[in-house]
Amino acid sequence: MSYKIKLNIFEGPFDLLVYLIENAEMNIYDIRVSEITEQYLKQIERMKEHDVVVGAEFLILAATLIELKSRMLLPRIKVDGTEEEDPRTELTQKLLEYTRFKRLAAAIEEQMDYAAMKLTKPQEDLQPFTGEPDEYLKMDIDQFIAAFKAFIYRRQKNEEMVAIRGSIEREKMTVAAKKGAIRRLLRKAKGKILHFRDFLLPNGGRYDKVVTFVSLLEMIKQGFASVKQDGNFQDIEIRYKESEESAQ
């Protein structure tokens, strides 16, 4: 889980630095580096005190400021008498560009507020003209009646049957019983390989298949049988492990 906390609404190091410069009423073209560096570091300390993880980008700017401060201490007159470029120029340019976009952000926000006063309506539902209409729309009423009649007929028939015979619960074979049956068959096979379908009951349906499969899995786990299948959907060969069972 991570969550964002906004503190003092500084969007980043430039945002903080611009705030500090404006607050100190400095000209951005003539930043008093040592003063602003001190304030900047103090602000970062304060953020740390409030248990804010200070992003690496804040520290990068801190390092830049400290470097700048040290460079400001050196005279910039070259041997030939010409002057080196002001070390602050790059930072000033960056801050100016950032400030410019910050103002532009405010400008487009105003534009957005204005635009929000014009409301639009959603598109009409064009589904009947464009996409596939829903299936029931395609069916004519006679087909619909026929389908409903067929449903009622089946239902009545079912109820009549229940009335005559009462409901019959199918006897369900348990995994334990199935395991017994599988074991008997394997023993009778005397080491011969059997296939998965040999254990299925005639007309056993899906339920029987599942029970058989689960039973086999259990027997494999307990070490009573080993199985082999060459590929997907191919016959599963099953072999009985006599020794393991006698050890039990």
Partner 1 sequence: MPSKKTIKSAFESMLFVWGEPLDVKIAASAMNVEKTEAAGYFKELQQEYDEQGRGIRIREINGKYQFVTAEDNFDYIRSICTPVHERRLTQAALEVLAIVAYKQPVTKGEIDSIRGVKSERVLEGLTKKGLVEDKGRSDQIGRPILYGTTDVFLTHFDLKTLKELPAIEDIEDALQYTEPQSAADLRQTSLDLGQ
Q: Which residue among 53, 79, 126, 247 contacts partner 1 (CB under 8 A)?
A: 126
How many C-beta atoms surround the C-beta of residue 35 within 10 A? 14
Beta bridge partners of 226: 239
Tokens of 216: 């086999």
Q: Is 103 in the site for partner 1 (CB under 8 A)?
A: yes
For residue 31, the minimal CB distance to partner 1 (Å) is 9
Written as one string, the DSSP assignment of 152-166 is HHHHHHHHHHHHHH-
Q: Is 164 in the site for partner 1 (CB under 8 A)?
A: no
Closer to partner 1 by CB, 70 or 158: give it. 70
Instruction: With CA atoms as reference, report the closest residue to 87 among 60, 101, 66, 57.
Output: 66
Return the residues of window 21-50 that contact partner 1 according to CB under 8 A: 27-30, 32-35, 38
Q: Which residue among 12, 133, 180, 205 contacts partner 1 (CB under 8 A)?
A: 12
Cα 153 to chain center, whole Å? Answer: 48
Q: Is 99 in the site for partner 1 (CB under 8 A)?
A: yes
Return the residues of window 170-229 that contact partner 1 according to CB under 8 A: none
Between CA 31 and CA 121 the distance in angstroms is 52
Question: Is residue 20 packed enough to be buried (19+ CB in 10 Å), middle (13-18) or exposed (0-12)?
Answer: buried
Q: Which residue among 19, 102, 181, 244 contacts partner 1 (CB under 8 A)?
A: 102
SS (H, E, C) 163-197: HHHCCCCCCCCCHHHHHHHHHHHHHHHCCCCEEHH
Q: Is 81 in the site for partner 1 (CB under 8 A)?
A: no
Instruction: With CA atoms as reference, report the closest residue to 76 among 26, 160, 195, 68.
Output: 68
Q: Which residue among 53, 73, 137, 168 contacts partner 1 (CB under 8 A)?
A: 73
Between CA 228 and CA 237 the distance in angstroms is 5
Q: Is 53 in the site for partner 1 (CB under 8 A)?
A: no
Closer to partner 1 by CB, 99 or 183: give it. 99
Closer to partner 1 by CB, 105 or 227: give it. 105
Closer to partner 1 by CB, 96 or 146: give it. 96
Q: Is 100 in the site for partner 1 (CB under 8 A)?
A: yes
Instruction: With CA atoms as reference, report the closest residue to 11 among 57, 68, 42.
Output: 57
Q: Is 119 in the site for partner 1 (CB under 8 A)?
A: yes
Q: Which residue among 109, 134, 159, 242 contacts partner 1 (CB under 8 A)?
A: 109
Residues that bind partner 1 (CB under 8 A): 9, 11-15, 27-30, 32-35, 38, 55, 57, 61, 69, 72-73, 75-76, 83, 86, 94, 96-112, 114-124, 126
